[in-house]
Amino acid sequence: MNQVNEWSPWGKAQHTTAYGKGIVFVETARHGGYKLSKEVNERIPQPFRNESGWYEEDLEAIKVHHFINEVAHTDFTHILKDQWPLEWEQYTGLLPSLEESSVLRKRAFERDNYNRYLVTSAFGEWHERVPNGKVGVYAKRESDKSINCFLVNRKHYDNRDGVYVIDEEVDEEVEFVF
């Protein structure tokens, strides 16, 4: 590792590690990532390329690891399809399926529930205004940005798969604020 005093998108660089000509990993106090030279950056296919040449160490680094052999060539196809489905389609001509992409699943869920209330926070029976067997919730409807309070059946709420979607015919809208 080398001591450096260079700027990065995450703050002042504390250490760098070179992985070959034009490939540097930068560490800061809080985060880090790769900085690629213009020549190396051009080896990343355009749909995935960050024009700045900076790739943060968490998700963006996958692009560097997948396309730049000097770093650690690993097949991250599944992550590229999952996180960057539209870019994958531009690159290959094939749009990943919903099963292959959590991003596409999230977008489909949001589209399908655009006019429904989705729970944003919940309060258990410990709250003085929540009866036994219920969960008090705040829920937001994206189509008109309205936020309302509901009491929902604890068993229904506990069996949710991800975000709880309010069933306005079953879940009770309440006037009070939790």
Domain locations along the chain: 2-74, 113-174
Cβ-contact 101, 84 below 8 angstroms: no
Average pLDDT over the chain, rounded to an integer: 92
Structure-token pair, residue 92: 């290959």
pLDDT at 98 over 60: yes
User: Structure tokens of 77?
Assistant: 């196809």
Does the structure show a pLDDT above 60 at 1? no
Q: Is the pLDDT of residue 161 over 90?
A: no
Going by pLDDT thresholds of 50, 70 and 90, the confidence category of residue 59 is very high
Q: Identify the top-confidence range among 5-9, 26-30, 85-89.
A: 85-89
- Does position 12 have pLDDT exceeding 80, yes or no? yes
Given a cut of 90, is residue 4 above it in pLDDT? Answer: no
Supply the pLDDT for residue 5: 55
- Measuring CA to CA, which residue among 56, 53, 52 is closest to residue 40? 53
Confidence of residue 75 (pLDDT cuts 50, 70, 90): confident
Q: Over range 4-11, report the average pLDDT.
A: 81
For residue 139, name the pLDDT band (cuts at 50, 70, 90).
very high
Identify the weakest region by mean pLDDT among 11-25, 39-53, 66-80, 124-138: 66-80
pTM: 0.76
pLDDT at 7: 86
- The residues, ordered by sequence, that sit 6+ positions from 61 with a Cβ below 8 Å of its Cβ are 33, 34, 55
Position 74 scores a pLDDT of 77
3-state secondary structure of 113: coil
